[in-house]
Amino acid sequence: MELQCTVQNYDWGKLGSDSMVAKLLSSADSKVSIDASKPYAELWMGTHPNGPALIIDRNVLLGDYIKDNLDAIGPVVKSKFGVSVPFLLKILSIRKALSIQAHPKKEHAEELHKSFPDMYKDPNHKPELAIALTPFEALCGFRPLSEIKIFLTKLPELTEILSADSVSALLAQEDQGDQNILKQVFHLLMTASKDALASSLSKFLTRLEKEDASVQLSLLYQLVQRLHSDFPGDVGCWAPYFMNYLELRPGQAIFLKPNLPHAYISGDCVECMACSDNVVRAGLTPKHIDVPTLVGMLDYGSYTKDELLFNPKLEDENCCIWRPPVPDFAVAKIKVNGDDEPYNTIIRPSPSLIIVTSGSGEICDTEPIPARPGVVVFLKASRQLTLTPAPGSHLEAYQAICNV
C-alpha cells in the first residue's frame, strides 16, 4: 500500500532542492512544488500522531487501518508491542547542527515522565539508528581520555572556565580511569555561566583565527567556528573536544544506544527509532537544558570512532541489515541491479515500511506500483515485495521492520 508521508520543515533542514527530503518528495509526486527558500528537514514514515502516514488509495491513516486489520501487524509484533507500528522511519536532511542530546533508558524514561510529565511527555525509550545517504557529520560518545587530555592542555580558554583541581585530576587519569572525574569536568562545563562561555569561546576563536592551518586543523577550528556562527556562545561549541567527531561515508551507520551523547551536524541520512519523543538536551539549542538529569544519566565511557560505527550483516546477495540490540526496529538495505532477476524480499514476521531511495522500475505485493525515489509503501507482516528494476536501471530501498 503506497503511503503519503509527512514532511517536517524544521529550521535546521537543508533548503529547497538541496534537501534529500525535498528531492524524494518531488520525485515521488510530480504535483509537489519545492520552495527554494524553505527548509525540508525530515520525512516521517510511520504512525506517530505528530506526522501520521496516509494510505493513498484508501484515504485512510495507516494507524487507523492497522486497528481494523490485525493481520497487518502479525501475531509476533502484536504480542510484544500491541496493535501498532512501534518504530518510526525517517529521512533527515541537515543544514545546521541539531542539539546535542541523549535518550534515557526505558526505566529512566518512565521515571522522568512520571516525575516531570510536562518536560518529558513520553514514557518510552528512544534508541536511534542513523545510516548516511551522503557524507554525514556527527558528534557521538565521549572520546578516549588520551584525546580529551591533549585538547585540554592546548585550550587554556576552555580550562579557565573549569576548576583547576578537576582539570589536573583529569589530566592525571590513565586511559581507563575513573569516569567520575570526566563527569565532574563535564558538569563544570555544563554549569559555566553564559558570560564565561561567550567570552571563552570568543577568546579562543580570535586566537585560532591567527594560527596556521595545521594548528587550526588539529584544534577543529573550522568545525567550532561553524557551530559558533549558528549557536554563538553556546556550551555545545566546546563539545567537539570531549566527543568524537565522525564523518560517515554513505552507507556507514551509527547506533545511538541509551545515554550516549550525540549530535547530528550535517548531511542526509536514513534514521530509524523507537516511536518516542524522549530527548534530554546538552547544548547547541535555544531550548531548556535539564543539567542535573543530563549530567546524571550520560554514558561517560570512552569510545573510539571504530567502536561507534555500527556494521550491517549480509542476509543475501541483495540485502544487508542493521540489527541493533533492541526489539523495536531493524533496517535492511536492498539493492537490485538492472541485470539481476526480480528480487523477492525476505519474509519477516513484522510489518515493514519501505522507501525507494534510488533507481526506477516496479515494486509489487498484490498490485504493481511504479517505483521511483521517494515512493513509500507499507507491507503487511509475513508478506513479500518483489522489486523489478527497469532495464538498464537499478532499485535501492530501505526497509524498516521490528527486530523480532
CB of 271 to Zn ion, least distance (A): 9
Residues annotated catalytic, as ranges = 281
CB of 256 to Zn ion, least distance (A): 5
Q: Contacts with Zn ion in 246-275 (CB under 5 A)?
A: none
Q: Which residue stretch of 96-104, 107-115, 151-159, 197-205 sits at the interface with Zn ion (rule: CB under 5 A)? A: 96-104
Going from the C-alpha of 278 to that of each of 106, 128, 291, 317, 331, the distances in angstroms are 10, 11, 15, 37, 21
Describe the crossing of helices 164-171 and 145-154 by its angle, rounded to 10 degrees: 130
Q: Contacts with Zn ion in 331-390 (CB under 5 A)?
A: none
Q: What phi-psi label fits residue 38: left (phi over 0), alpha (psi between -120 and 50 degrees) or beta?
A: beta
Select 101 or 184, whichever has its Cβ closest to Zn ion: 101
Select 257 or 335, whichever has its Cβ closest to Zn ion: 257
Select 25 or 45, whichever has its Cβ closest to Zn ion: 45
Select 101 or 352, whichever has its Cβ closest to Zn ion: 101
Select 104 or 374, whichever has its Cβ closest to Zn ion: 104
User: Which residues lie below 8 Å from residue 274, measured CB to CB, with a gap of 6+?
Assistant: 86, 87, 88, 124, 125, 126, 127, 326, 328, 329
Binding mask of the shown chain, residues 105 to 144, with x at each position contacting Zn ion by CB under 5 A: -----------------------x----------------
Q: Is the distance from CB of 276 to CB of 150 less than 8 angstroms?
A: no
Long-range CB contact pairs, 279-282, < 8 A, 24+: 279/99, 279/101, 279/103, 279/126, 280/101, 280/102, 280/103, 280/104, 281/99, 281/100, 281/101, 282/99, 282/100, 282/101, 282/102, 282/190, 282/235, 282/236, 282/239
| DSSP codes of every residue in 284-327 | SSSS---HHHHHHH----B--HHHHB---EEEETTEEEE--SSS
Query: With CB under 5 A, what is the number of residues at the site for Zn ion?
Result: 2
Phi and psi torsions of 6, nearest 5°: -95, 140
Q: Is the distance from CB of 321 to CB of 332 less than 8 angstroms?
A: yes
Distance, CA of 112 to CA of 124 (rounded, Å): 10
Is the four-CA dihedral 262, 214, 190, 174 of positive or negative sign?
A: positive
Q: How many CB atoms lie within 10 A of CB 49?
A: 8
DSSP 8-state assignment for residue 274: E
C-alpha cell at 170: 583529569
Binding mask of the shown chain, residues 34 to 63, with x at each position contacting Zn ion by CB under 5 A: ------------------------------
Q: Which residue stretch of 97-105, 146-154, 338-346, 387-395 sits at the interface with Zn ion (rule: CB under 5 A)? A: 97-105
CB of 102 to Zn ion, least distance (A): 7
Distance, CA of 145 to CA of 149 (rounded, Å): 6
CB of 321 to Zn ion, least distance (A): 21
CB of 279 to Zn ion, least distance (A): 6
Q: Which residue stretch of 95-103, 176-184, 220-228, 243-251 sits at the interface with Zn ion (rule: CB under 5 A)? A: 95-103
Q: Which residue stretch of 68-76, 78-86, 101-109, 386-394 sits at the interface with Zn ion (rule: CB under 5 A)? A: 101-109
CB of 103 to Zn ion, least distance (A): 6
The total number of residues shown for the chain amounts to 404
Select 101 or 403, whichever has its Cβ closest to Zn ion: 101
Q: Is the distance from CB of 230 to CB of 223 less than 8 angstroms?
A: no
Give the type of residue at 273.
Answer: M
Select 125 or 372, whichever has its Cβ closest to Zn ion: 125
Q: Which residue stretch of 84-92, 98-106, 168-176, 352-360 sits at the interface with Zn ion (rule: CB under 5 A)? A: 98-106
CB of 36 to Zn ion, least distance (A): 29
CB of 260 to Zn ion, least distance (A): 9
Select 260 or 402, whichever has its Cβ closest to Zn ion: 260
Which residues contribute to the site for Zn ion (CB under 5 A)?
A: 101, 128
